[in-house]
Amino acid sequence: MQEDTPKPLSPPEAAPPEAPLPQEPVRNIKDFTLEGLTDWMKARGQPAFRARQVFQWLYQKHVRNFDEMTNISKDFRELLRRHFHLGLLEVAAVKESADGSRKFAFALEDGKLIEAVLMPNNTHFTVCISSQVGCAMGCGFCSTARMGLQRNLTTGEIVQQAVELARQAHLDGDDRIIRNIVFMGMGEPLHNYDNLVSALHILQDDHGFGLSSRRITVSTSGLVPGINRLARDDVRIMLAVSLNGVTDEMRSRLMPVNRRWKIAELLQACRNIPSPNRTRITFEYVMLEGETDGLENARKLVRLLHGLKCKVNLIPYNPHPGSPYRPSTPEHCREFQRVLLEKGLLATLRISKGQDIQAACGQLITGIPAARGAKRQATTA
């Protein structure tokens, strides 16, 4: 009997191909605080000091390419390049004032535009930066309000304004440093609270900009919940509150935010800031002819702020096209200031810089078309 020839064994069925692991998106490295970047490094087996090295390259040497980080290995620079971009801003336009101030329009990655101002002093620079594209607060005397709110800036977009302005000063061969940063550009900073606070951590970090809390001023239109959060979170900055009226009727007419949080509630929030944190609060007061500048308003202002550790910064109104308001005369501003000083209220009169290029307080607005170049150029190089 003939035996059956054994049949060849069938090859085992091939396992289905594994789905590719999802790729991490390339992120803006300047969105990370030092703590966040340190955690990222540790998760990839890198020592904590790597984050400090990177921070110094980003914020003290203002590099525009990962390969400029020369004390970091080539392999590690490649790792950074795979995961991050440098969040560079493109300079879309620059205007220079007769007083030496320069207003920069920066194009963001999505084509939107923001403005920031570099202001020279004898020994240093002060920079005014933005926190939002446009603004939702609708203040009647502010040019930015006409844009409406388009979006919040990311942490990286906020800090990169300071990086870019420092770099521009250096390119001019100017060895003056940035000593003060004021959040008085486009937007309401406390309306973008989380990104603002992360940016503040970077600006104050010794491995970042290394600025003292007394060198950073955040100006708010009076968002009471944001002021309460600053106090609760122990955020150390100089606080400036845009008051601009001594009655709710007057302030609501100029600032819609007052319809939600009245003057009494706003001032109570300022009084509630814990004593160790309560450096002198600045109350900004815009001088509008026939609207806010009556001398009786000066006397009411003294009574309103009684008992608060504060000073008043009188701001001569900076006109802009289409505005119905007119500035008070310099003589009247000084008389208003005199009334405050005689009543024991510390009061300063602001000298506005960049008014001739629409770069002064309340004048920032982006009307320049973002044609080319809103793309991130060479940021992952």
Counting beta carbons within 10 angstroms of the beta carbon of residue 343, is it exposed (0 to 12), middle (13 to 18) or buried (19 or more)? middle
Catalytic residue among 135, 310, 333, 361: 361
Catalytic residue among 90, 115, 188, 284: 115
Classified as helix, coil or strand, 193 is: helix
Comparing CA positions, the residue from 114, 193, 124, 196 lying closest to residue 155 is 196
In sequence order, the 6+-apart residues with CB closer than 8 A to the CB of 198 are 31, 33, 155
Do 65 and 57 form a contact (C-beta atoms < 8 A)?
A: no
Integer Cα distance of 101 and 174 in angstroms: 14
| Rounded Cα distance, 71 and 377, in Å | 24
The yes-or-no answer on residue 310 being catalytic is no
Q: What is the token pair recorded at 208?
A: 């970042």
- Catalytic site includes residue 128: no
Distances (CA, A) of 54 to 106, 162, 275: 24, 17, 36
Four-point Cα dihedral 106, 110, 111, 112, nearest 10? -60
Catalytic residue numbers, as ranges: 115, 361
